[in-house]
Chain A
Amino acid sequence: MIAIALLLPFLLGLSVVAALLGRRAGFFSFIEKLALAFVVGWGAHALVMFFLSLAGAPLTFFNIFLAEALLIAGGLPILFRNAGQWRPGKLPSFTFLALLPAALIAVKLASVVWAAFSRPVIDPDILGCYALGAKMIFLNKTILLNGPWADKPLMPFLWQAWPSIGLDFWNDTLLTLPNPLLFLSFLIIFYSALARHFKRWYALLSTLLLATMPLLVFHAGTAYTDWPQALYYSAGTFYLFLFMKEFRGDREAAAGSLLAGAALLGLTVWAKKSGLYYAAIDLAALLIFLSFAGAEIKKTDWRLFFQSAVIFLAIAAPWLLFNQLSTFRGYYVEVASQNYIDLETAGPRPQTLPALSALYRNTFLEDNWHLLGLLFAAALVLYPKKALAGPRLYLLLIIALQLTALFVLFRFTNLYRFVHDETLLNRLTLHFAPVILFFCAQILGENFSKSCKTNG
């Protein structure tokens, strides 16, 4: 039953990705398509559960299975029509030296498996919110109740309820059922996004750095929502960047990347409230890119942009509408209004130095990211021209906006209170830390790939 619980969203994902990419699937490597299908599939699975429940159908295994089987059956003809694009290519030949990073990645994956399944959840926030909400969905077979999710997006709750719905008994060692495979899928997407333009050994080495990022590994083994948020947002941003990179070259490949990015960024909104403003940051970068590419945009491109916008909105809008746009109100309350006024009388007034100090601690002192902060600084200082050139500039813009948002949130809003207990800043950083590594890998890769060509 656990295998079916894992397989069903994956098959759904295959259908969705096949429909999404069509013939453009050929621009994605075989393992990348599988990884993308798993990641998108779990998102789509949550949406199916959401709509079923909204339609008044009890969230039973039979109902969910039936609904998804129909969707899969609808998507399979598209998959078969483009079967040629889905054939596995030749297995890449790696040198013996490449086995070492692969083995280390396997060790990290094993540690995620162990953390995810060895014991029932114990983290107080998960017990008090996510696990309790999932248990409520499992026992009541609906989301239409007064659950602990309040205005939080429902995807994590639905994910965590699903394994128990499949087993028909409450099992809190399986809340994180998809996490290890999502972690592997994320690594594959990261690797593939780099391997499109750089040497395989280089992509693998960069992937190893990602796989060893301690807070990412830690969260991939827990039932917190920061992991799906980091996964969907970062993967969406990678594809958005690939679109920008390929836009002036291979338009069809670029189109595939944009569609994949739109779907992933849409799912970001379902992972955590912050997903909405992350998507807005990426959208802003995309609009700036397009405004500079104005003359190069062809008539056929507009259709693609429209398709991507529809995909993004079709995924994100149901949650935002269901939630009656309370996400926006939540931002306003948290950031601008009442709480801030309360804070002036009741708590410590936000100050610049402690906020900067927290950012510094988070980046350089503790071990959440190993040495990512210094790698980022080095990439900027050593190769400033490459950092500011081409589509990398837009990636840098995204990172700069993320960092600015962090500073503004912790310096000027009620979130300042978390500066002192370190419970939030690092988790918010986690959501885009893989993007920073991807940016560094892009800059350094430009140099290393050049040298490789010279060396033959």
Chain B
Amino acid sequence: MRQFCVIISALLLAGVSLAGEINLLDPAWGWRSPNPGVKIEFSAAGLTVSGTLTSTGIVNRRPLNFSTRDFDLLAIKMKTSKEGMGELSWASDKTPFSFRNSYPFYLRRPGAYHTYYVNLAAYDRDRSKITLLLLFPFSGPGAAEIAELKLVKGSLYEKIFAGWQEFFGPNGREQDFFNFLVVRSPRLFGRTLNYYVNFFLALFLAVVVILRKRWDLSRVFLLTLLAAWAAVELNYLGENLAAVRRQARFLGKSLEEKRALVNPGDFYAFLKFADSQLPAGAAFDIRAAGLYNGRNANYYLYPKRFKAGAPYLLIYDVKPDQKTRRGYRPWQIFRPGAYILKS
């Protein structure tokens, strides 16, 4: 019995999984990208994903229908062309894709293979059947070679590693991908750090209240709360520091250079070009890649006014359909893919 336990422990610590695994690096799962600008190629080495635009997610078309009871970890072994962040989202038979079913992770040194673990079971608390995975191997333009993409029953080592990666991951250290108006708390095993701290303190508070007739522990409790506050603040100072580092690239730049930096790619240069070409007081319409680029154009080009169906149509890295192009003719070209049409 003792020998058996030793063997099991050794296997767990060595990271050997006793259960099976599902290899997701198979064209049969129907991997595709909702963005037509993203290239997906299968080869003997695995799957290569590359794109020059901002959104490079890939999603499976054939439903996976697995339970996180059977396969709790997703292991991704890949080599990326850049640092930054990757992200995994999932949809199940109960929940659609949402920012809560989302797991961002830091990418490690580019040009070398690294394994990333996502503890799906920790997040999938209602034990639904996961159907779709949406993987962003990196953010923005770039390339990734995925050598392994598999669902496994994780070993102890793999789960500890996943926890480490999760706790020191972007959640609670970077501004939220989806909603920058929430200050997130770092995650550990699918829950927030503040959940654990509040849980412990609430328990302590209950003990203090129960024992208050015998011992007055209220001051001890308040000091503990203060210490815990200091600890979460220390963590948040790390986030402050990350923000300072992120924005250090603006140091020493002119106002125009800064504006170019806060806009994706050469979008600001394109707007400057449009501003110089459009007549004073002209109204314009725009079709642009990126969620907020139309809004940005409206702001930067003012007093030229944004108006749907205006005589000038700005096109930036999108292919307008026939209906949109109707009534317009080419007018000024900034570069291939970024130009102005005139009615």
Contacts and interface: CB of A to CB of B under 8 A. Distances in A.
Interface in A365-382: 365-368, 370-371, 373-375, 377-378, 381-382
Interface stretch (B132-140, B142-150, B224-232): B224-232
A378 B183 contact: no
A119 B244 CA distance: 11
Interface string B227-254: 0110011011101100110010011000
A132 B229 contact: no
Contacts of A73: none
Interface in A352-406: 364-368, 370-371, 373-375, 377-378, 381-383
Interface range on chain A (Cβ under 8 Å from partner): 35 or more
Interface in B298-318: 298-299, 302-303
B292 interface: yes
B258 interface: yes
Nearest to B230: A212
Interface in A99-155: 107, 111, 114-115, 118-120, 122-124, 127-128, 131-132, 135-136, 139
Q: How would you classify the secondary structure of chain A's contact residues: helix, strand, loop or mixed?
A: helix
B299 A378 contact: no
A368 B232 CA distance: 11
Interface stretch (B32-40, B156-164, B196-204, B330-338): B196-204
Contacts of B182: 215, 366, 368, 422, 426
Contacts of A115: 243, 247
A370 B225 contact: no
A366 B235 CA distance: 13
B229 A120 contact: no
Nearest to B240: A111
A74 interface: no
Interface string B173-216: 00000111111110000011111011001100100110000000
Nearest to B197: A371
Contacts of A132: 298-299, 302
Contacts, number: 138
Contacts of B236: 212, 214, 367, 370
B45 interface: no
Interface string A161-173: 0000000000111
A454 interface: no
A427 interface: yes
Nearest to B233: A212
A209 B258 CA distance: 34
Contact of A119 (B201, B209, B232, B261): B261
Nearest to B202: A374
A423 interface: yes
Contacts of A127: 292, 295-296, 299
Interface of A: 107, 111, 114-115, 118-120, 122-124, 127-128, 131-132, 135-136, 139, 171-173, 209, 212, 214-215, 217-218, 364-368, 370-371, 373-375, 377-378, 381-383, 420-423, 426-427, 444
10 contacts: A107-B240, A119-B247, A128-B299, A132-B299, A173-B255, A365-B198, A366-B182, A374-B198, A374-B202, A382-B222
Given A114-B243, A367-B192, A382-B218, 11 more contacts: A115-B247, A119-B250, A119-B258, A131-B299, A214-B239, A365-B194, A366-B184, A367-B236, A374-B201, A377-B205, A382-B208
Interface of B: 98-99, 172, 178-185, 191-195, 197-198, 201-202, 205, 208-209, 218, 221-222, 225, 228-229, 232-233, 235-237, 239-240, 243-244, 247, 250-251, 255, 258-259, 261-262, 291-292, 295-296, 298-299, 302-303
- The 9 A-B residue pairs with the shortest CB-CB distance, nearest first, are A367-B185, A214-B183, A124-B292, A128-B295, A122-B262, A127-B299, A118-B247, A119-B250, A364-B198
